[in-house]
Structure 1
Amino acid sequence: MIFLRQFIVLLFGALQFAILIRVLLTWFPNLDRSNPLVQLLSSVTDPILEPARRLIPPFGGLDISPILVLFALQLLESVLLRVLS
């Protein structure tokens, strides 16, 4: 049971970190989007961010879907850990 809890914490932490890095990379418009690391990051985060973008589309050049996803991931992690305890 401890292993499962640690795995959940690690998985959700990695997803949150990946989303945060993805957001930070948007601040660099000259970044090469064909870079394999950028593409890997996009392939990991896009399936999570796209549904949130459909719920709340970007407005005025501001995409708040990462905030929504980070909040949802934190909430889901908390619920899962509470169920396992």
Structure 2
Amino acid sequence: MQILLEIVYYLATVLTWIIVIQAVLSWLVAFNIINTTNEFMRSVLYALDRITAPIYAPIRRIMPDLGALDLSPLVVLLILYIIRNIIIPNLMMSLA
């Protein structure tokens, strides 16, 4: 059971980094620092979107529309923080 919790912990860590990288890249695209006509960058952005879109979708349905401001990555990061730093350590302590 402890190995399963460690796997969930590491997957949450990887997902956190994916969300942060996607946010930074989207800001760079918005400020025209990264050109989306570059095939490599377009494929990276597409892959990140394919990974995160199923995670953001339920949160976007619940949250009100704020126009161009999308808070779903922030909500997902908060949930991942709670899972990684509160739930998993408490479960590990109870198993020890």
So what's the TM-score if we normalise by structure 2? Answer: 0.70
Pair 50,32 (structure 1): closer, same or farther in 2 beyond 3 Å: farther
Pair 19,33 (structure 1): closer, same or farther in 2 beyond 3 Å: farther
| Pairing of 1:1-85 with structure 2 (within 5 A) | 3-27=3-27, 28-29=29-30, 30-32=35-37, 35-77=42-84, 78-85=86-93
Report how many aligned residue pairs link the two structures.
85
Q: Contact (CA 8 Å) 2:18, 2:48: kept in 1 or not?
A: yes
Distance in 2 (CA, whole Å) between partners of 1:33 and 1:4 is 39
Shift of 1:56: 1.3
CA RMSD between the two structures: 2.3
**Structure 1 segments (4+ residues) deviating >3 Å:** 1-6
**Which one has a bigger Cα radius of gyration?**
2
So what's the TM-score if we normalise by structure 1? Answer: 0.77
Pair 43,60 (structure 1): closer, same or farther in 2 beyond 3 Å: closer
Structure with more of its chain in helix, by fraction: 2
Question: SS of 2:36's equivalent?
Answer: coil
Unaligned runs of 5+ in 2: none
Report which structure shows greater RCO (CA 8 Å, sep ≥6). 2
Percentage of matched positions with identical amino acids:
29
